[in-house]
């Protein structure tokens, strides 16, 4: 039961990370209230990764790294 809840939370967080990444490219999304709340949830998780992995050529790889980490955690829990 707990594993299923954590799995659903990880899936939700991955969706929020995608919304955050897309919103960073589209000003209309970035100005919305939804994006404000998504940013408040996702950005604190991305910041430690950004400190370790700097952007390359203006491209921030921290969302991809965070998604990869979440998938690894999810797979480990589902075993």
Q: Coil, strand, or helix at residue 5?
A: helix
Instruction: Print pLDDT tens along the chain (79 aa).
Output: 899 999 999 999 999 999 999 998 998 888 999 999 999 999 999 999 999 998 999 899 999 999 999 999 999 998 8
Question: Does the predicted TM-score (pTM) go above 0.85?
Answer: yes
Radius of gyration of the chain (CA): 14
Which pLDDT value is given to residue 58?
87
Domain ranges in the chain? 2-78
Reduce the secondary structure of 9-54 to three states and give it as a string.
HHHHHHHHHHHHHHHCCCHHHHCCHHHHHHHHHHHHHHHHHHHHCC
Task: Report the distance separating Cα 9 and Cα 27, nearest Å.
Answer: 27
Task: Report the distance separating Cα 14 and Cα 70, nearest Å.
Answer: 8
């Amino acid at each position: 039961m707990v594993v299923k809840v954590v799995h659903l939370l990880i899936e939700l967080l991955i969706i929020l990370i995608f919304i955050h990444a897309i919103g960073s490219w589209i000003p209309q999304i970035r100005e919305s209230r939804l994006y404000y709340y998504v940013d408040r949830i996702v950005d604190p998780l991305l910041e430690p990764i950004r400190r370790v992995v700097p952007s390359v050529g203006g491209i921030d790889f921290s969302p991809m790294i965070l998604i990869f980490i979440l998938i690894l955690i999810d797979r480990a829990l589902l075993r």
